[in-house]
Amino acid sequence: MLQNPRRCWRRHGENVYELEAIPPDMMQTLLRDAIDSMIDVESFNVEGDREKEDAAFLDGVRRIVKKTLESIPELQAK
């Protein structure tokens, strides 16, 4: 129940709902449907896969650079 409905209505309008009143599984379905209606899910998933590939590539580069720098005597901590 709203603590102060009149103040809330003045501030946000009459179409205000308390999301915690919605069961979690229903809220998840509503949110998933709303998001899916706004984005191209296939493209989103492809981009996520590309980001994983980029992260793996960058990790490999980081390891090579680290190993290379460690092999330079002038850069070793004394």
* The pair of three-digit structure tokens given for residue 11, joined into one six-digit string: 């501030």
DSSP state of 71: T
d(CA 72, CA 65): 11
Which pLDDT score, from 0 to 100, does residue 14 have? 78
Q: Is 90 exceeded by the pLDDT of residue 46?
A: yes
Query: What is the mean pLDDT of the segment spanning 1-30?
Result: 81
Segment 50-72, tens digit of pLDDT = 999 999 999 999 999 999 999 99
Q: Which residues fall within 8 angstroms of residue 53, CB to CB, at 6 or more apart?
A: none
Question: Which residue ranges make up each domain of the chain?
Answer: 21-75
Per-residue confidence band for 78, with pLDDT thresholds at 50, 70 and 90:
low
